[in-house]
Amino acid sequence: MGDSSGSVLTAALLCFFAMDEELERDERVFLLGEEVAQYDGAYKVSRGLWKKYGDKRIIDTPITEMGFTGIAVGAAMAGLRPICEFMTFNFSMQAIDQVINSAAKTYYMSAGLQSVPIVFRGPNGASAGVAAQHSQCFAAWYGHCPGLKVVSPWNAEDAKGLLKSAIRDDNPVVFLENELMYGVPFEMSEESQSKDFTIPIGKAKVERQGTHVTMVTHSRYVSHCLDAAAVLAKEGIECEVINLRTIRPLDVDCIETSVMKTNHLVTVEGGWPQFGVGAEICARVMEGPAFNYLDAPATRVTGVDIPMPYAKILEDNSLPQIKDIIFSVKKTLNV
């Protein structure tokens, strides 16, 4: 399969590398999920792992989410470090009780007697043409619950560094990948090629410096925001783009520092608007020092508040497009 020392690699590959390196580093780590072993992974993320590590550590499960998620959580309670893959996070809904009630809450309920070092990972959010039951974004649902860490990587470096941190974390981490980002190539920095390269959970990254408006986003929409920023730059509007990297805990300091500089806030996400990530960001900014620096109300750019349709024209218009982001920025800046 090679190593991660090439300079242009995809996010899928980097998830693979993260898992490979962590499987090698700690023999308590193992991967289970549907088609992760002999099928090489539904999205090929785990290709090669089974050949390298065998049946004991790469386990194909039957199509029984509630059961295998519970088994993964129990294994974590007993001292292993499972990576529980959901083919998509839509299927995690069948197992959500095990994620929340058995994994997230246990350390607290036991007053520190029982920890649960587990990673739940898989593609989240909209894909292409997979329609309503396969397109939901779960960032807000999982982001709501204490006891969980919720991570949402954007590029290949994020994928590797954050997944390694998630696997090394002694707590339940929900790792929201994005299917459409799996195949996107990114240039890798020198340091990201090390086997010990980790990115801390809970810290956002300013992907682009700017002075007129703060754009806060996560996952695939970081790309959209950067593209929108490039277009807006031609009109003299300099956007600061913040890649959240972690949904829970939210890096409010990073957001506030930026808003206090730019005086304008636009959040961008693929999920639905009500009770979503953008809603939380706006509420937090209201409650903190940055509010007094806002020259206009914050704006949320979100997915349309409907189940995802199938037809391409409908699907395209259900999610934020670059033009929607540009439009919203200009409205916020009143230009």
Give all strands (DSSP E) within 173-273, no chain letters: 173-177, 185-187, 205-208, 213-217, 239-243, 246-248, 265-268
Residues that bind other proteins (CB under 8 A): 30, 56, 59, 61-62, 64, 66-80, 97-98, 101-102, 106-115, 117, 146-147, 149, 170-171, 249, 287-288
We find the least distance from the C-beta atom of residue 19 to other proteins, in angstroms, to be 17
We find the least distance from the C-beta atom of residue 244 to other proteins, in angstroms, to be 17
Q: Is the Cβ of residue 8 or residue 113 nearer to other proteins in the bound state?
A: 113
Side-chain-facing half-sphere of 160: CA atoms under 13 Å: 25
User: Catalytic: which of 21, 22, 34, 65?
Assistant: 65
DSSP-derived 3-state class of residue 180: helix
We find the least distance from the C-beta atom of residue 149 to other proteins, in angstroms, to be 8
**How far apart, in whole angstroms, are the C-alpha atoms of residue 138 and residue 272?**
10
**How far apart, in whole angstroms, are the C-alpha atoms of residue 111 and residue 100?**
16
We find the least distance from the C-beta atom of residue 171 to other proteins, in angstroms, to be 5
Q: Is the Cβ of residue 117 or residue 276 nearer to other proteins in the bound state?
A: 117
Q: Is the Cβ of residue 94 or residue 321 nearer to other proteins in the bound state?
A: 94
CB-based burial, 197-208: b 16+ in 10 Å, e otherwise:
bbbebeebbebb
Instruction: Check: CB of residue 173 under 8 Å from CB of residue 180.
Output: no
Based on the residue annotation, tell me whether 27 is a catalytic residue of this protein: no
Strand partners, 186: 9
Based on the residue annotation, tell me whether 134 is a catalytic residue of this protein: yes
Torsional sign, CA 258, 253, 175, 266: negative
We find the least distance from the C-beta atom of residue 155 to other proteins, in angstroms, to be 26
We find the least distance from the C-beta atom of residue 64 to other proteins, in angstroms, to be 4
Nearest to 156 by CA among 6, 322, 320, 319: 6
Instruction: Check: CB of residue 221 under 8 Å from CB of residue 270.
Output: yes
Residue 80, class by beta-carbon neighbours within 10 Å (0-12 exposed, 13-18 middle, 19+ buried)? middle
Q: Output the CA–CA distances (angstroms, integers) from residue 330 to 16, 74, 199, 264, 301, in the order listed.
A: 40, 51, 33, 11, 12
User: Catalytic: which of 35, 134, 144, 238?
Assistant: 134
Q: Is the Cβ of residue 62 or residue 236 nearer to other proteins in the bound state?
A: 62
- For 75, the token pair is 């294994």
Q: Is the Cβ of residue 28 or residue 208 nearer to other proteins in the bound state?
A: 28
Q: Is the Cβ of residue 288 or residue 309 nearer to other proteins in the bound state?
A: 288
Catalytic residue list? 65, 134
